[in-house]
Every structure is written in C-alpha cells, then in structure tokens.
C-alpha cells in the first residue's frame, strides 16, 4: 500500500510539473469512508437440517468496522478531450488480515474502479466515453431496477437541440471467464473461454421540457451459452457492488450454490440467447410544489438450458424447469416540497412467478439493479456499509409489491437533516413455488443481496428507516442509519417447503450504522 501511494504521488507530481508545456490540466478528488455498524439480517433465527439438528442461522459477527478510499485522477487537455482513472482502495475490515486490516496493515486491496477517456467530434454535439465507467439505465422513481453498475463500455451522446438528445452504448459485462476444467455445473464440453461473452446494446432518447421530462429506452443483449458457467457467477462471489446477475430464475429461491435440490443446470445446444429490456421514466414538474415520478419497465431473457428440481424432496418427483425469464415492473413516487422537508408517498408492483417452473420465471430479470425507495431492503442510503451482511437486502423489486410513506430531508437545525420511511412489502409470487424451495435459502439472499427474500402472495414485511446526516464541515459528513423490518412471512405457506423436515424459527431483522465521510 505504501509503495503504491509513493508511485502514485510521484506520477502526479511528474505530470503536474509537465502540465504547462503540455497544457494538460490535472485534478485529484476522492472520498474516504469509515464505517461502524451492528446488524442481524437473517429472517430465520434457527433451522433444522436433514437429521433434524437445530442450527443457528446467523453465524457472522454482529459488529464490524470497515474503511475504504476512492481516489480519482482527471487529465483534461480541453473540454473536448480528457481521461479519468479511479482507484478503489478497500474495503478493509478492521482486524481482517486478508484485506490489510490486521496488525501490520499489509494487503492487496487496490482496484481500478473506473478508467475511461472522453472525447468530442469537433464542431458537433457528439460526445463519446470509452473504457471502464459507471452507467445506469434511465429511471425516475427510486433508482434503476435493471442496470446500474460499472464496466467496459462505449457510450456516445448527441444533442439534437436543447430539449432532445440521443444516447447509444455498447456494454460488455462478461467475456473469457469460463474455465471448463473448474466448472461446477453441467456444461456442453466446450473449451475454456468459448461462447462466454455477454454484450448489451441500448438506445436512449432523453426529452426534457419545462413541465415534463421522459426518457424512453430499449436495450438488447446476447449471452453465450457459457457466459454464466463459472463459479463466481453462479455463486455470486462478486462483491462490493460488482454485477450480481439475476438473469436466470430461482437462483436464490431454490438455494442454487447450496448443494440443494437443483441439478443438471445450464446445458443447452444454443450458441447465444437473446435478452431485451425497455423502460419509460417520466418526471412531471408542472404541478409545483408537487413532484411526480413514474417508471415502467419490462424485461425478457431467452431460455438457455433447463434444470432438474425435486418437488417436496421426493426423488421420484423431478420437474424439468426452464431458464427463460420475463416480467414487468411499475413504480411511482409523489412528493410535496415544503420549506422544512418533502413528505411523500411511493409504491410499486412487479410481476411474480405463476407456480409453473416448466415455463420459466415471471419475475422481471435484471443485470445489476439499484433501487432506493427504501434504505434497508433498498439502496436509499449509503450502499457501502460496515460489513457484507449490513448491505441492502433487495435492490431489484422483482416478485414484490409495496407502498410507503416518507418524510425526506427534514431539517429543523442547520447542518442536520433526517429522512424517515415506513413501507410495507408484499409478494407477487405463487405460493405453489414453495414446494420447490428451502426456507433458509429462499429468505436469505444468495445473490449478493440484489434479489431477495423470495416472497409469495401470502407474505409480508414492514420496514422502518431513519437516516440522519450531519454536515459538520463543508467536506465532512456523519451519516447515522437505523433500520428495522418486522417479519410477517406466512408460516403456513413456508412449512410446505420442499424439505418437509426443514422447520425454522423466524425473526425480525435490524441494523444500525454510523459512517464518517470526507470528500475532497
């Protein structure tokens, strides 16, 4: 770590010394985060295994402390040509040697978060960004339920006039990750690195007027038959905001990766499969001080192989499921702007599974969603938390519906703001799906918290959020979050799960965290 900082500082000083001759303007900015928190985010307190032995569900630490540093260097020769690189140092859990947080503080935790160039065609409004970059599909109410992440892309934007533009991009989330010798899933006998790319192509039409803005968009994609056939993809070993793929159905609900009731997954004779999404975010400003936001989304992923699943843990009752997935989502937010804050209401409804695994999943697919209507089940506050289990529990909204009230940005004292939310979550999935599932896996997200828990139409959760932000200095904030979720999942439904011996004890969940942020 010390060697990296020395080399980086030397490079910055060298470039800065040369800047008058080359007319390049260098700037450095970044952010430090120090986080401390406690939580229990398991909806079950205990469960029984196949031998009826009772196990504690949460075997992780209740308390954790972490830190991270984001460091960005921009090199601009003009407004038409520049380059950016961002380094991500951490996150480092205090006391953990593997992340450089133990005594001695040595660890390999430096990562490239972004690295791209911006350039414009002379005498036009056409601007292009190439390289590893952050990008999100357009949204209005409460974040993108489809795609919001960083990766390698080419992104070009054109302004037709002051009100209407056009954006086109090509994004490559995955390529050459398939290792046939290390695959833990059934494959097609293909060599490593073969037919394992995923490519996404999108057209976006932003239209902004005085009283309304709307941004219709479409995105088409292809995925090779080996795109998902490596362990870190299926087991979701990708962490800290990296893509947690939710394209294929039932990964969380059926306990894929836990050695449970899913087998023969992923084999197909197809070379590539199609993916498609469309969205229409709308923001209405003509009724000031009212603020109205609405989002419509649809997604489809072509079947790329089938899988076997046991029904009620019966080896003689095996169903063949489809990996096709398609569904839709609508969400809305209405706020009223006052001097002391913004009270509002919000809600959403997403399609759910119909109970027949032979025809695939009816939950809307996503690539890497980040919705933030709430801050415990969603990304409504700092997504980076003081521990993996303290992160958000559901960023996709797939297979759920909900409604909530909020008092946002309340401020009665200078430099101190509060946001209070109360939301009820329900499920839109058929209760018939439970006979294929294990409760411990269905309720605990196994897909890096991006999708879960799995909720049927008989289930419910009641979420409470309180976020407090104190701006001590211009560049220094203290963020305190409290979250609680009351568990109203239906016992009569989930006691019919596929493990007829798999009883459990459910519980409410909670978290509290304080994060110190210095931005420069």
User: What would the pLDDT profile of 414-466 be if each residue is shown by its tens digit?
Assistant: 999 999 999 999 999 999 988 887 776 777 654 445 677 889 999 999 999 99
Listed residue (381, 402, 409) closest to 488, CA to CA = 402
d(CA 126, CA 155): 11
Q: How far is CA 506 from CA 63, 426, 495, in A?
A: 21, 17, 11
**Chain CA centroid to CA 56, Å:** 27
Query: What band does 494 get if pLDDT is binned at 50, 70 and 90?
Result: confident
User: What would the pLDDT profile of 401-424 be if each residue is shown by its tens digit?
Assistant: 999 999 999 998 899 999 999 999
Eight-class DSSP state of 258: T
Give, rounded to a whole angstrom, the gap between the first and last alpha carbons of the chain.
20
Tell me what pLDDT residue 255 has. Answer: 47
The pTM for the full model equals 0.88
pLDDT at 253 > cutoff 50: no
> 27-41, 241-255, 448-462 — which is least confidently predicted?
241-255
* Secondary structure (3-state) at 441: helix
Cβ atoms of residues 77 and 62 within 8 Å: no
d(CA 361, CA 353): 5
Tell me what pLDDT residue 319 has. Answer: 81
Tell me what pLDDT residue 52 has. Answer: 59
* Residue 346 CB contacts under 8 Å (≥ 6 apart), including other chains: 141, 142, 331, 332, 333, 334, 373, 403, 404, 406, 423
Tell me what pLDDT residue 402 has. Answer: 97
User: What would the pLDDT profile of 55-94 be if each residue is shown by its tens digit?
Assistant: 666 667 788 899 999 999 999 999 999 999 999 988 888 8
Cβ atoms of residues 26 and 80 within 8 Å: no
Residues 104-113 have a mean pLDDT of 77
């Amino acid at each position: 770590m010390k060697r990296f900082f020395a080399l980086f500082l030397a490079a910055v000083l060298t470039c800065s010394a040369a800047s008058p001759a080359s007319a390049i303007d260098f700037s450095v900015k970044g952010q430090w985060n120090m986080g401390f928190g406690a939580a229990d985010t398991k909806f079950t307190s205990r469960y029984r295994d196949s031998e009826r032995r009772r196990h504690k569900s949460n075997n992780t630490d209740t308390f954790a402390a972490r830190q991270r540093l984001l460091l960005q260097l921009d090199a601009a020769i003009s407004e038409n040509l520049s380059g950016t690189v961002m380094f991500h140092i951490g996150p480092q859990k205090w006391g953990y040697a593997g992340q450089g947080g133990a005594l001695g503080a040595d660890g390999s935790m430096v990562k490239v978060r972004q690295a791209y160039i911006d350039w414009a065609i002379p005498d036009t409004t056409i601007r292009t960004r190439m390289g590893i970059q952050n990008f999100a599909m357009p949204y209005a109410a409460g974040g993108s339920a489809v795609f919001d992440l960083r990766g390698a892309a080419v992104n070009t934007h054109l302004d037709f006039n002051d009100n209407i533009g056009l954006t086109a991009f090509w994004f490559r989330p995955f390529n050459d990750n398939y290792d046939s010798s290390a695959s833990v899933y059934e494959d097609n006998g293909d060599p490593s690195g073969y037919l394992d790319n995923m490519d996404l192509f999108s057209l976006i039409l932003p239209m902004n007027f005085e009283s309304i803005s709307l941004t219709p968009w479409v995105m088409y994609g292809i995925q090779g038959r080996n795109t998902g056939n490596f362990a870190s993809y299926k087991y979701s070993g990708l962490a800290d905001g990296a893509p947690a793929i939710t394209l294929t159905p039932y990964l969380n609900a059926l306990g894929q990766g836990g050695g449970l009731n899913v087998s023969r997954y992923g084999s197909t004779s197809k070379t590539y499969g199609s993916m498609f999404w469309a969205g229409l975010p709308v923001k209405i400003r003509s009724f000031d001080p009212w603020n109205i936001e609405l989002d419509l989304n649809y997604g489809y992923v072509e079947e790329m192989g089938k899988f076997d699943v046991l029904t009620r843990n019966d080896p003689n009752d095996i169903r063949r499921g489809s990996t096709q997935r398609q569904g839709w989502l609508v969400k809305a937010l209405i706020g009223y702007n006052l001097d002391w804050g913004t009270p509002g209401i919000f809600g959403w409804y997403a399609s759910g599974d119909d109970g027949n695994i032979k025809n695939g999943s009816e939950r809307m697919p996503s690539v890497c969603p980040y919705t933030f209507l709430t801050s415990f089940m969603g990304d409504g506050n700092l997504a980076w938390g003081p521990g993996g289990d303290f992160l958000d529990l559901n960023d996709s909204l797939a297979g759920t519906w909900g409604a909530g009230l909020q008092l946002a940005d309340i401020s009665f004292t200078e430099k101190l703001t509060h946001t209070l939310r109360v939301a009820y979550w329900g499920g839109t999935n058929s209760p018939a799906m439970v006979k294929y599932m294990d409760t411990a896996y269905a309720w605990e997200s196994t897909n890096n918290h991006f999708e879960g828990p799995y909720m049927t139409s008989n289930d419910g959760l009641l979420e409470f959020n309180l976020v407090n932000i104190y701006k001590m200095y211009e560049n220094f904030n203290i963020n305190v979050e409290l979250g609680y979720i009351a568990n109203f999942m239906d016992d009569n439904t989930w006691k019919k799960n596929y493990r007829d011996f798999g009883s459990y004890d459910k519980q409410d969940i909670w978290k509290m965290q304080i994060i110190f942020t210095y931005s420069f």
